[in-house]
Structure 1
């Protein structure tokens, strides 16, 4: 069969693999030398071991340069080969670290006053684990054996456990004075290097997982996925599972599409989430509640798994596009259709989940908690105390505190079941099925419908597009949503909704600047927030919120 690579490229790839094999051989030699010196200190020359370390550094550099040259050399290479080069590069870096740790272990031996002291501890079993793991790298890389990649990852846990046992023993020896303090500390340093070798083996194992799965994933994330898929009824070969990362949230959760390896992205069967147990469990419970209230509006839960440190959730993959994608790229007809369905769905949700229980407002509390992040990105957009003639102009922080006191006097007359993070990216529209879906419902709760309304309106405003035709489309959606608010409030006799909306918009305008690097646009939002806060503060003397109003022009950004 004719190769798809020219002869010169084949030669370079062969050289890369050959140098990588030499690197593996050298690392194995350093591990074996470390074993011999720990068994019988002084039996071999440390200088010889140190000289091999220089050769290992050179080999790592050669492999690293070859990987970078291949990726950035100008030749067309496919994603599979790019992934392989990334794996080889990551493994090479960590193999070189293992060699350095071996040298450091042996170097520490010269500081022991009693060479027999270290024989009390089982370094040989730790070296067995390390050497066995390194020996599995070539076959795992070539044969793509998932089980071997996982074994290499898990070697880090075994070394950690052994280190923890040795650490406790050494600490007890130090407290009881049963050995030289310097020997105890030196031995601790030695076994700390063993523990760090475990970290490098974990990096190698996870790099091999990436090579097999085609997606970067931590061992605990893979084990969570494995267990969650098992609980959902999946029993086939996990190496045939394809993953495609969607995003990592600000809270640290990982979100990926899951499906058959050949189809992931196009025919995905589920969305996998892994992260903080409290947040993942809350999302699962909210999904179940949404399914009870409005079946089909949110993804079905396919599997859930929880440990003491993390939790994972597998949910149904919903077809369609986010409302942001629709708004920015679809035809006017499709946009209008999506908006019509959305307004209908929202009105139905608010109507059917309405409960006659007043709701306290928390907009200013939320603004205060997020202000530091906003100021960190835009320190010039926070106002300081000023005086203009006889007029005192409060700082941003003082203004928020004053509005927080006012907010305590105002309540929503009833509650509805809120999405909790109702921005454009959490609404999915399937044009073919004529369906609206809600995703990312972790924050769903019973609350004031104005909470969702304010988030939605500002998520429209802050879209970073300034083309006149697209801005006109955004403004039209804004106007239609405002009409929904007025109709719903009038039908339900909600006479203070504009006042509460002012609080909600002020909160969302200001907190949104922490996501906006464009200073002029961030300034637009900060000024609008200040306008609303000042409006609230100056109106408080009247205290009749039924007559409160503000200029809706602040929601519409005109582009000339």
Structure 2
């Protein structure tokens, strides 16, 4: 991609300016002098202005039409590099200011800073080549500089704190610690620059530590230039999901899905996939590779053909939707029958909701209204209703358990129209549980879709109602008398807790009012009469 001339030109000036500033900083640390300190401090405007020009040019480039995702990601990466170069410049000036404030700068051992500052300068000098050649190995070396600076920091930190014991010059040594912190933070800037370069090369935002997991899970050793990812999604927990094309042993190109993130989350996903492949083979994708690196991990899994149910509900034809629903209901019913055990299951929907209400109120503080009185009538707040419903729920366990998805949203279900098959993804919460957990999550994931046209809203209501009808029929056949009551609590939980992901105030209000209505209706049922409870499902899911 030919970058805008203003980006190239100002980035070149910025790198040259940083080279000069770090050279002066090295000389200053070798022999501190007020005149050189003044020269360094007076350079503040240069790097700042150049960084601003690079960022302005990048923004202008990103505003252009017909920009590919790779081009956009590259401009974002250059913007990140410019910001962190300016950060390194500011940290250098602040280090000088701390040294100048020390009355006895010999206590600071400034000559020891020559090596790390020189390292920073040499590392930054590698940036132009890394950008021009898209050399991921060089980008990695830039990131590795941080670990060398960390070692320097830890060693000098111990020296300063040791010198402080019994010293009469603790103020000077405190300035030493502050100087050390500024130099240490330069390593953070280099790490951010490394991540920006790697992200530009592989086509997806990536953290430095996670890059090694990526290389390992994709087979390593084949050359960094072969790694190209196409972003698919990013979960709320921070995991990134991408598509990648690989060559198998026969040299054929094979499509796969790469997912990386927190080690615990990815491990749970792996366990969930393996469990499904033993409990109900063919439903979950196959795991092609799994790797761990530090606190991160990555999965390479089979690419599944088809469309998500969300895409079909929103944009598919009526025929495609009806076919997908029929396949889904058949598959889910079959799973419930095959995995059923006689172990009772407690959903604890109200306990789940209670834990999530802080996040709901954080985004929608007006929902936390407190107890109110209307003409002498006491109106309990939502938290009070949740607590009361939790007490009712405690005595209403499901009479049996089935293996559930655990995060049964529309976008986690794929329908392959060619084979008319249903497949599941995002399985880190799968376990034996009350099937109402999945039913309620699925139904509300329909309503949560922020699509406003009436035709689509009617389809959404029908999909939710059809799932209810299928599950209610299963409950009758398997003698589950409190299904409807437990479903009500599950729906209240999902309606209320889902608002923490809905910014639109009107849509969130409709959802929270439904949750309140359901709770009030359920609590109005006399104890012991829960089996007779019914909700107006179609009304709840219609606008």
TM-score with structure 2 length normalisation?
Answer: 0.91
RMSD: 2.7
Deviations 1:232-287 (A, max 9, x none): xx5412322112333332223233333369xxxxx873323333332221221111
Q: Cα offset for 1:141?
A: 1.2
Task: Give the whole-Å Cα distance in 1 for the aligned partners of 2:371 and 2:475.
Answer: 37
Look up the match of 1:29: 20
Q: Distance in 2 between matches of 1:505 and 1:139?
A: 56
**Partner of residue 55 from structure 1, selected from 46, 54, 67:** 46
- Cα separation, partners in 2 of 1:79 and 1:439, compared to 1, 3 Å: closer
Contact 1:215 1:244 in 2 (8 A): yes
Aligned mates of 2:423, 2:277 — CA distance in 1: 11
Measured against aligned partners, the alpha-carbon deviations of 1:201-220 in whole angstroms (never above 9, x if no partner) come to 11221222123223221111
Question: What residue in structure 2 maps to residue 556 of structure 1?
Answer: 541
Distance 1:551 1:525 in 2: 15
Q: In the alignment, which residue of structure 1 is the partner of 2:455?
A: 469
Check conservation: 1:270, 1:315, Cα contact below 8 A: yes
| CA separation of 1:93 and 1:524: change in aligned 2, threshold 3 A | closer
Task: Measure how far apart 1:170 and its partner are.
Answer: 1.1
Q: Any idea what SS the aligned residue of 1:258 has?
A: strand
Match of 2:135 among 145, 149, 159: 145
| Deviation (angstroms), 1:417 | 0.4
Map of 2:169 onto structure 1: 180
CA contact under 8 A between 1:361 and 1:408: conserved in structure 2? no
Q: Cα distance, 1:123 vs. partner?
A: 1.7
Judging changes above 3 Å, is the alpha-carbon distance between structure 1 residues 305 and 47 closer, same or farther for their aligned structure 2 residues?
same
Q: Which residue of 2 aligns with 1:125?
A: 115
Instruction: Give 1:80 shift.
Output: 5.1
Which residue does the alignment assign to 1:400?
A: 386
Quote how far apart the aligned CAs of 1:120 are.
7.5
SS at match of 1:273: strand
The farther-off stretch of 431-440 and 507-516 is 507-516
Residue 458 of structure 1: how far off its partner (Å): 1.4
Work out whether residues 291 and 297 of structure 1, in 8 Å CA contact, stay in contact via their aligned partners in 2: yes
* C-alpha spacing 1:320/1:191, structure 2 compared with 1 (3 Å): same
1:350 to 318, 325, 336: 336
State the secondary structure of the residue aligned to 2:109. helix
The residue number in structure 1 matching 2:531 is: 546
Matches of residues 69-88 of structure 1 in structure 2 within 5 Å? 69-72=60-63, 81-88=71-78
Contact 1:528/1:554, CA 8 A, preserved across alignment: no
Which residue matches 2:250? Answer: none
Q: Which moved more, 1:235-244 or 1:187-196?
A: 235-244
Task: Work out which of the residue numbers 480, 490, 497 in structure 1 matches 2:476.
Answer: 490
- Using the TM superposition, give the Cα deviation of residue 196 of structure 1 relative to its aligned residue in structure 2, in angstroms: 1.5
Query: Which residue number corresponds to residue 190 of structure 2?
Result: 201
What does the per-residue CA deviation read over 1:387-414, in whole Å, with 9 as the maximum and x for residues that have no partner?
Answer: 5667543222112111111111111100
Cα separation, 2, equivalents of 1:125 and 1:440 = 47
Q: Which segment drifts farther, 113-122 or 156-165?
A: 113-122
Q: Secondary structure at the match of 1:550?
A: coil
Residues 340 and 169 from structure 1, CA distance in 2 versus in 1: closer, same or farther, beyond 3 angstroms?
same
Instruction: Indicate if the aligned counterparts of 1:271 and 1:314 stay in contact, CA closer than 8 A.
Output: yes
1:285 equivalent to 2:271? Answer: yes
Whether contact under 8 Å (1:105, 1:190) holds in the other structure is yes
Other-structure match for 1:502: 488
Flag as ranges the 4+ runs of structure 1 deviating above 6 A: none
Greater shift in the superposed pair: 249-258 or 426-435: 249-258
Distance 1:385 1:349, change over 3 A: same
Q: Distance in 1 between matches of 2:324 and 2:542?
A: 22
Distance 1:351 1:207, change over 3 A: same
Pairwise mapping of residues 81-100 of structure 1 onto structure 2 (< 5 A)? 81-100=71-90
Aligned counterpart, 2:161:
171
- Name the CA distance, whole Å, in 1 between partners of 2:148 and 2:120: 10
Q: Give me the whole-angstrom Cα distance separating, in 2, the residues matched to 1:526 and 1:112.
A: 59
**What's the CA shift for 1:173?**
1.7
Q: How far is the alpha carbon of 1:383 from its aligned partner?
A: 5.5
Gap regions ≥5 residues in structure 2? 248-252
Query: Quick check: 1:36–1:43 contact (8 Å CA) kept in 2?
Result: no
Distance 1:43 1:512 in 2: 59
SS at match of 2:228: strand
Once the two structures are superposed, residues 166-208 of structure 1 have per-residue CA deviations (whole angstroms, 9 ceiling, x without a partner) of 112211221243x721221122122111111111111221222
User: What is the CA-CA distance between 1:341 and the residue it aligns to?
Assistant: 0.7
Uncovered stretches (5+) of structure 1, i.e. residues with no partner? 262-266
Matching residue of 1:223: 212
Q: Which whole-Å deviations, capped at 9, do the CAs of 1:294-323 have from their partners, x for residues lacking one?
A: 222112122222345333222222122110
SS where residue 215 of structure 1 aligns? coil
SS at match of 2:186: helix
Cα offset, 1:547, TM superposition: 2.5
Equivalent pair of 2:209/2:293 in contact (CA under 8 Å): no
Change (3 A) 1:106 1:472: closer
Query: Structure 1 pair 307/89, CA: closer, same or farther in 2 (3 Å)?
Result: closer
Distance 1:48 1:553, change over 3 A: closer
TM-score, length-scaled by structure 1: 0.88
1:58 Cα deviation from its structure 2 partner = 3.7
Q: Offset at 1:147? A: 0.7
* SS, match of residue 133 in structure 1: helix
Give the one of 103, 117, 120 matched to 2:93. Answer: 103
* Post-superposition CA distance 1:423-474 (Å, at most 9, x none): 1111011112322111111111111111111111111223223433323322
- Secondary structure at the residue paired with 2:288? strand
- Is 1:113–1:183's contact at 8 Å kept on the other side of the alignment? yes
Structure 2 residue aligned with 1:264: none
Cα distance change, pair 437–391 in 1 and its aligned pair in 2 (3 A): same
